[in-house]
Amino acid sequence: MADPRVARDGAALTLTTEGTAGIEIFYLEAIRQALFEEMERDPRVFVLGQDVGVYGGAFKVTEGLQERFGKERVLDTPLAEEAIVGGAIGAAMRGMRPVAEMQFIDFISRAFDLLTNFAAKNRYRTGVGVPMVVRGPCGGGVHGGPYHSQSPEMYFVKTPGLKVVAPATAYDAKGLLKAAIRDDDPVLFLEHKFLYRRVKDRVPEEDYVVPIGKAAIRRTGTDLTIVTYGAMVWTALEAAEILAKDGVSAEVLDLRTLLPLDEEAILASVRRTGKCLVLHEDTRTGGLGAEIAATLSEKAFEWLDGPILRVTAPDTPVPYSPPLEEAFLPNVNTLLAAARKLVKY
């Protein structure tokens, strides 16, 4: 993959590579296309959730689906996440391919037991997989406050039997959602709401999937590796451009999948650069940065030329106040400070 260019087109961020074909669409439209195409391809696929039908979803991701596929395949549900996920599990075990939407991913906690104690364990207990997707908007940056801005991925990354994906680009959002729907086990699909109408890139017109469990190098570098995912990929790319002007070559590794984690890609990158900085929007303690740091300490210690640093949100709820939220979220300046410290080590 060629080095990407981060460009501004009005409010949009675009990620382009040389020779990329296809049509340029926003992140949100890529998710909608994946749902349309998978429902066309496979009659077992259906969508359920709060306001996904008549209203078209809180963020309009499912707009037009009910008109095309009818109320039997695009189900408006009560305000009950337990019922949504429980119904999806039952349908999956009966041979269907449900895609359950959480209106905001924060409220997935209402269905935590069903996902972690039933869906994730069922193949281990009975040999029967639960082919379902739970998708929904995560993350901050839109002043949603502490109940509509969380990054809950680590509650589920800890759970054997689940897969957890977090796309940063429109290309990956479409390809990973297709892969998740076709997977024979439960997948948690995290869509960063800040990216819905801000990120666009070229997506092939023909059918494709992005394999679950494979990271992608978004920018090659030689001086340090920035490991990240979701909306923070764009923060990392912006910081890498600024660092390049100072003569620092930063590699940006987009994990794309958080469980299973692409350890080989992380190790290979850090072996090349000798230094690693992990960036994530989730809070610090018990975040994915700690897991990656432990893995590098165990498996790449002899290649490290400096400490493994983390740039994360602090251990607090997400603030509602715009200035406080801005201070809470990792940004280019905090990332640059950490990167420059690491380069000088």
pLDDT digits (tens, 9 = 90+) for 263-306: 999 999 999 999 999 999 999 999 999 999 999 999 999 999 99
- Please tell me if the domain spanning 5-203 has the same topology as the one spanning 216-344: yes
Task: Give pTM, 2 decimals.
Answer: 0.94
Whether the per-residue pLDDT at 18 is higher than 60: the answer is no
Report the catalytic residues: 148
User: Could you tell me how many residues make up the chain?
Assistant: 345
323 cis-preceded (ω within 30 degrees of 0): no
Question: pLDDT (tens digit, 9 = 90+) per residue, 63-98?
Answer: 999 999 999 999 999 999 999 999 999 999 999 999
Return all residues near 230 (Cβ < 8 A) that are at least 6 apart.
138, 139, 151, 166, 167, 168, 190, 192, 195, 280, 281
Of the pLDDT bands very low, low, confident and very high (cuts 50, 70, 90), residue 21 is confident
Closest to 258 in 3D by CA, of 134, 135, 166, 121: 166
Q: Which CATH number fits domain 216-344: 3.40.50.2300, 3.40.50.2000, 3.40.50.920, 3.40.710.10?
A: 3.40.50.920
**Assigned architecture for domain 5-203:** 3-Layer(aba) Sandwich (3.40)
pLDDT tens readout for residues 175-186: 999 999 999 999
Domain spans of the chain, in order of start? 5-203, 216-344
Quick one: pLDDT at residue 8?
42
